[in-house]
Amino acid sequence: MFGKRKDSKNKAMRDNEELTPWERQQLLREENIEKKQKKSKKILISSNLVKFNGLRKKRLQKRVITLASIFGISAVISLYAILPVSRVSNIEIEGTDSQTKTAIIEASQVKKNESLFAVVPTKFLISQRIKNDVATVKDVNISLKKNVVKFKVTEYDIVGYIQRKNTYYKLTSNGRELNVGQKATNGNYPLFLDFKKKTLLHEAAQQVGEMPKKVRFGISEIHSNPTKVNPKRVKLVMNDGNEVIGSIDTLAAKMSYYPSMAKALGKKGVIDLEVGAYAYPYNNK
């Protein structure tokens, strides 16, 4: 085996001796090029290995930072959830009276000491519940100041009260009634009486809501006073001592004439707006 290697080497030397100087130079040049290529490949492989190790290290660092951040945030949230500052300390309602405030709190289902995590993400749903359940609420804005929940309420106009037993319930301009009552009325609102059908009551409330406030606040009582001919007939008792006969479906439009007709009447009496529009004193009834 060693003899064969030696013969190969001797043969290469003899072949090299037989080459011309120019051919020898070319052969040396090719050998140098081949050596450089081999060296370059080694450097490239080494460089790629260094880069790969660097990328692995960066990815590992990124993963560690991400996991540490997640655990850190989780720890902060868990700690916050335990502290009293994360719970509802108080509920404040702006823009309404005590009866409506009670109804809003019940409808919202928000309670003191409840977690704020149960309130903040569901503000829209809470708002919808309040508007659906509380007749007087037109819109409600829910905000949070520290751990105090605030409700800013916009209401429909109150047009009167309906009495059931010894309790009075508000009626709104959209024809709904508040489900929380009170022991006495407040404000210059009329009392709706003798309404057997809710549909007529709600229609009458809507009609009163369309009246000018000056006319509306001049009404003391609104009685359902149906006849066979007109089941929507009503009688209004006015604060100035007059009575008005009308029909629910035309009440708002015709009551706009009331101030001028009452002035023209001169005496206390009846103003009939049911079909046409005429008036007469009580002693001529």
Residue 126 and residue 119 in contact, taking contact as beta carbons nearer than 8 Å:
yes
What's the mean pLDDT in 24-29? Answer: 68
The predicted pLDDT at position 284 comes to: 67
Question: Which are the contacts of 95, defined by CB distance < 8 A and separation ≥ 6?
Answer: 152, 153, 154, 155
C-beta separation of 204 from 226 below 8 A: no
The hierarchical CATH code for the domain 86-155 is: 3.10.20.310
- Torsion, Cα 64 68 70 75, to 10 degrees, reads 160
Beta strands 158-164; 233-238: pairing state: unpaired
- State the average pLDDT for the chain: 80
Do residues 154 and 94 make contact, with C-beta atoms less than 8 angstroms apart?
no
Task: Break the chain into its structural domains and give their ranges.
Answer: 2-82, 86-155, 158-284
Alpha helices in 109-257 (DSSP H): 123-133, 198-209, 213-216, 251-255
Dump pLDDT digits (tens) for 55-66: 667 776 777 677
CA 35, CA 42: separation in Å to the nearest integer? 11
The Cα 191–Cα 159 span in angstroms is 9
Q: Which fold has domain 158-284?
A: Rossmann fold (3.40.50)
Indicate the pTM of the whole model: 0.63
Which residue's structure tokens are 């057997």? Answer: 196
pLDDT at residue number 234: 96
Lowest-confidence segment of 32-41, 72-81, 230-239, 260-269 by average pLDDT: 72-81
> CB of 180 within 8 A of CB of 98?
no
Which band of pLDDT confidence, cut at 50, 70 and 90, is reported for residue 235? very high
Token look-up 């009167």 returns 160
Nearest-angstrom CA–CA distance, 149 and 134: 18
Of 116, 112, 109, nearest in space to 91 by CA: 112
User: What value does the mean pLDDT take over residues 20-29?
Assistant: 68
Tell me the per-residue pLDDT of 27-56, one tens digit each, with 9 for 90 and over.
Answer: 667 766 676 666 655 555 555 555 656 666
| Bridge partners of residue 143, in order along the sequence | 150
pLDDT band at 182 (very low <50, low <70, confident <90, very high): confident
Q: How buried is 166 (Cβ within 10 angstroms: 0-12 exposed, 13-18 middle, 19+ buried)?
A: exposed
